[in-house]
Structure 1
Amino acid sequence: MTKTAAIIGGGVIGGGWAARFVLNGWDVQIFDPDPQAERKIAEVMDNARRSLPGLTDVALPPEGTITFCATIAEAVTGAAWIQESVPERIEIKHTTFAEIQAACAADAVIGSSTSGFKPSELQQGAARPEQIMVAHPFNPVYLLPLIELVTTNADATLVETAKKLLTSLGMHPLHLKKEIDAHVADRFLEAVWREALWLVKDGIATTEEIDDAIRYGFGIRWAQMGLFETYRVAGGEAGMKHFMAQFGPCLTAPWTKLMDVPDFTEELVDLIAGQSDAQSGHHSIRELERIRDNNLVTMMRGLKAQDWGAGALLNAQEAQMRKGTVHGAVAADLPADALVETAHRTVPLDWTDYNGHMTESRYLQAFADATDRFMQIIGCDAEYIKSGGSYFTAETHIRHLDEVHAGATITIRTRVVMGAGKKMHLFHEMQEGERMLATGEHFLLHVSLKTRKPTPPAAHIEEALTRFATGHAGLPVPKGIGRAIGTK
């Protein structure tokens, strides 16, 4: 049975909520008096459809429907979850909650996206104050999983319902049982923001320099391990107590504009160290370091694919490393009668599977990257592709000969089996030292990106390809070439 959610206020946050529900199979009923609401939410939905399904390796359920309603009463009718995302003015929120509760079911969850108001403030004058709770998300709501669920004076059954529903949407309800202005996460953001404003105002750093300090440093650590677990690792084998003993006294130093700090007492040290032990004490410091490193590699490789932040630094480093090596060469620099080295790299942590060795898809990626490098060597580079020509892979055959583990340094050498006209037939050999790990045989056709049909390549590309094909024809025929899967 399809569930229904109501979204009251379809701005950036409300639209994100709508996308999270719809793409997880819920029907959504929206009220927003803005005449541009449908357009804005349609644009949010386009972005969400592009990104959210890629987070999971299991297909999301069929999309729910979106209905735009003329009144709040119409929107909340039949809704199991009602999310208020109206402007941050308490009188507007009180009026909105009154209209919601006049028409909604008594057992529906009413969540507020407020970033600043406490539940007790939202509940003032409400017909059923125990029905209203804070469910504060982070933008983009359809991707970021954290929800600060603040439940002062809330109905216990509704709280459990809210937690289960949020979890079913792939979100993490951080249940705060004691209310405070701005909840938890925004208080951290406010502290950093305030300090950043002082640094800019005092001429210490520019806005870009401050952003670089976050995205190239502690921001990456925080993204996967938070604050206290990051510092626990920084304490080394001695743990959190050692870290606090070493850095705790700095809290009294005049470093920041935020000088209202708790007294640094043994009781405070024991309290935080004890909570830290309960949080992650079941891992040794070495295990935590490996978990941290795995997470950092995965995140930074993701950024690398987008050429953004820390990933852009890695791409720039690679470009520099290629200069003056075979991996920066073009066809004219290389002998025609020798295999072409198209990859020499370390197998990253996130390329391994549950068997502890390189997963099947990564062999294909490694060989595909080698093909891309060979294309660059013969002149089919980014500029050429931009002009309208490229190669499309038509057939691939991979032989898995030996295990490859994370950290292995692999080299791929490429032979041109055939290179004439529209056709390019490559045979890649992947090795670790002298050990043959795998081979990849690939047949490609040159195409026009305008017509998407086979077409002859530019003369300089065909010349370079033919040169290698002629030179490689005199080499010994490798084992496994031309193989296909079959039964005797």
Structure 2
Amino acid sequence: MKAAIVGGGVIGGGWAARFLLNGWDVAVFDPDPEAERKIAAVLSNARAALPLLSDTGLPAEGRLTFPATLAEAVTGADYIQESVSERLDLKHRVLAEIQKANPTAPIGSSTSGFKPSELQQGALNPATIFVAHPFNPVYLLPLAEIVPSPASSPDFIAQVQETLRGIGMFPLHIRKEIDAHIGDRLLEALWREALWLVHDGIATTEEIDEVIRMSFGLRWAQMGLFETYRIAGGEPGMKHFMAQFGPALAWPWTKLMDVPPFDDALVDLIAGQSDAQSGHHSIRELERIRDGNLVAFLRALKDRDWGAGRVFNDHDRRLAAAAPAAPVQQNPMVTARMVVLPSWIDYNGHMTESRYLFAGSQTIDAFLAKIGAGLDYVAAGKSYYTAESHIRHLDEAKAGEGLSGSVQVLAADDKRLHVWISLTRDRDGVEVATIEQMLLHVAMAEGRTCPADPQVLATLSPIAAAHADLPRPEHAGRHVGQRKPIPA
């Protein structure tokens, strides 16, 4: 699949990173001679951050190119994202040139304010032009506001949404055209009030930011506005909240309909306070700080399958389903692919020892699911319990690195499963750990061993037979400190 990105600024670069790191080939067109350098900087941050949000590992990175012409960039593209400056005349010229070279591909515009019907004026094929408005950083924040006009069919927009879900985004279909869509209208209201507070000497830029990030910003990140206020209504819920606080809407608290004098004095005041607040960091440093904090927040939401975290979990499931299916008797069987997460890292910057065992557990759990002894089997009251483990720590793994876990069956009968687990680093194939395990099949209610179900044994037996012909791992059967392997 090929994506064409037209406009290589902060937003265009974020789109390029999002597609590229999800396995798409990406062609970027921007006449700016600095475009490649700027895109490289965005990609560097994206490569450090986005993989930390995938528990299955992202697909192999696509191919990035910088064609000399716009026509070359969009020709053959399956999806096109326009991210040029917010000038309607410029967008019209660019969209016309795009459709001259590729009249049928979906064209999303990153515009933060224009309506799709405005973008479509005079277009060769208006139906394929729509708004796909993201939020910065595009490679981490999942929302894309999808705004069509009546010219675009529901089936077309549904396909656009599916394309964007495939790169881990949350494509929200906005049913009616409106200037600035939804997100920026909400931000505009807060921005206007914040400007007044600075203008009137009520608060500095830093104090306003502290209010947001120390209070309602934390609530909004995981519950939004209305769900937050529903809780504020107590047990009676939203009706009680509205009855209690609704009359305050008539009070003259805000100045949302007025704009403070936007003159040089206000600009200098805001800029000076902002420099004092965070001028000691470069923009790239601030981006990395932002990305690290976002990854930590999003990881917490992933663990709870809530809000934006659910989007990343859904993307993991899509990636796992799209991965090529390994033959049942692959020798040894690669059953799990994972990424070393920030929470797996110790004070040395390497994967902590307990996480090697966790990665091994992920690998054997995936193997058990393949033979029919997964979560549904456990829910029915039977499971394989680990009776013994011997782990060898062979090499280091760092945050963001991909790991693959494979299983070799050393022996199996109706009640026992003896396996050899190997964890290898994806970037160089180096084995970072091995785990030898003995598992016992247990009837959970009775708490004692019992034969595995026939359908499980029917799947396990041919794998065990195939693996019996494999060379026995050199260190199988070792105990701690033993220098030589036990002969088979």
Query: 1:193 aligned to 2:187?
Result: no
**How is 1:12-161 mapped onto 2 (pairs within 5 angstroms)?**
12-106=10-104, 108-156=105-153, 157-161=155-159
Q: Look up the match of 2:251.
A: 253
Shift of 1:153: 2.2
C-alpha distance 204-71 of structure 1, shift in aligned 2 (>3 A):
same
Contact 1:133 1:154 in 2 (8 A): no
Measured after TM superposition, the shift of residue 39 of structure 1 is: 0.9
Structure 1 unmatched ranges of 5 or more = 261-302, 312-347, 354-364, 373-389, 401-440, 444-481
Q: Distance in 2 between matches of 1:58 and 1:122?
A: 39
Query: Secondary structure at the residue paired with 1:187?
Result: helix
User: Paired residue for 1:228?
Assistant: 226
State the one-letter code of the partner of 2:64: I
Aligned 8 A contact 1:393 1:442 in 2:
no
How high is the TM-score relative to the length of structure 2? Answer: 0.55
Question: Distance in 2 between the 1:159 and 1:181 partners?
Answer: 19
Deviations 1:363-418 (A, max 9, x none): xx99997xx7xxxxxxxxxxxxxxxxx89999789999xxxxxxxxxxxxxxxxxx
Q: How has the CA–CA distance of structure 1 residues 230 and 71 changed in structure 2, closer, same or farther, with 3 Å as cutoff?
A: same
Cα deviation 1:147-189 (Å, max 9, x = unaligned): 0100012422321111000111110111112011100000011
Alignment of 1:236-251 (within 5 A): 236-251=234-249
Distance 1:131 1:397 in 2: 47
Greater RCO (CA < 8 Å, at least 6 residues apart): 2
Give the 3-state SS of the residue equivalent to 1:237 in structure 2: coil
Normalised TM-score (structure 1)? 0.55
Flag the 1:116–1:392 CA change in 2: closer, same or farther, 3 A: closer
Whole-angstrom CA distance in 2 between matches of 1:110 and 1:158 = 11
Please state how far the C-alpha of 1:5 moved relative to its aligned partner. Answer: 0.6
Whether the 8 Å contact between 2:14 and 2:139 is mirrored in structure 1 is yes
Aligned CA distance change for structure 1 residues 72 and 203 (closer, same or farther; 3 Å)? same
CA distance in 1, matches of 2:349, 2:24: 42
- CA distance in 2 between counterparts of 1:124 and 1:116 reads 15
Report matched runs for 1:266-285 at 5 Å. none
SS at match of 1:245: helix
Cα distance, 1:30 vs. partner?
1.4
Instruction: Specify the code of the residue in structure 2 equivalent to 1:128.
Output: N
Instruction: Name the residue aligned to 1:289.
Output: none
Question: What is the DSSP-based 3-state SS (H/G/I as helix, E as strand, rest coil) of the residue aligned with 2:149?
Answer: coil
Q: 8 Å contact 1:396–1:442 — kept in the other structure?
A: no
- Preserved CA contact (<8 Å) 1:9 1:32: yes
Q: Distance in 1 between matches of 2:70 and 2:207?
A: 46
Identity %: 62
* Paired residues of 2:344 and 2:351 also in contact (CA < 8 A): no
**Which residue type is aligned with residue 225 of structure 2?**
L
- The letter for the 2-side match of 1:91 is D
Task: Give the Cα–Cα distance (whole angstroms) in 2 for the partners of residues 352 and 184 of structure 1.
Answer: 26
Contact in 2 for aligned 1:395/1:442 (Cα 8 Å): no
- State the SS of the aligned residue for 2:215: helix
Cα deviation for residue 351 of structure 1 reads: 8.6
Q: Hey, what's the Cα distance between the residues in 2 that align with 1:175 and 1:396?
A: 43
Select the structure of larger CA radius of gyration.
1
Alpha-carbon deviations, 1:215-243, whole Å to 9, x = none?
00000100111110111111111010001
Give the gaps of 5 or more residues in structure 2.
Answer: 259-288, 306-341, 359-390, 394-478
**Do the aligned residues in 1 keep the contact of 2:5 with 2:27 (CA within 8 Å)?**
yes
Distance in 2, Cα, partners of 1:349 & 1:31: 35
Distance 2:350 2:79 in 1: 48
Any idea what SS the aligned residue of 2:180 has?
Answer: coil
Residue among 203, 206, 228 paired with 2:204 = 206
What is the CA deviation profile of residues 72-98 of structure 1, one whole-angstrom value per residue up to 9, with x for unaligned ones? Answer: 111111111111111111110000011
- Give me the whole-angstrom Cα distance separating, in 1, the residues matched to 2:240 and 2:87: 45
Please, what is the CA RMSD of the aligned residues?
4.2
In structure 2, the CA distance between the partners of 1:134 and 1:53, relative to structure 1 (3 Å rule), is: same
8 A Cα contact 1:148 1:174, kept in partner: yes
Q: Which amino acid is the alignment partner of residue 134 of structure 2? A: P
Amino acid at match of 2:202: I
Deviations 1:324-365 (CA, angstroms, capped at 9, x unpaired): xxxxxxxxxxxxxxxxxxxxxxxx999999xxxxxxxxxxx9
Structure 2: distance between partners of 1:28 and 1:48: 15
d(CA) in 2 for partners of 1:148, 1:257: 27
Q: How does 1:333-372 map to 2 (within 5 A)?
A: none
Moved over 2 A (4+): 303-308, 348-353, 365-369, 390-400, 482-487
| Inter-partner Cα distance in structure 2 for 1:305 and 1:7 | 22
Q: CA deviation at 1:254?
A: 1.0
- The AA in structure 1 aligned to 2:43 is M
Q: State the number of aligned residues.
A: 305
Q: What is the Cα deviation at residue 259 of structure 1?
A: 6.0
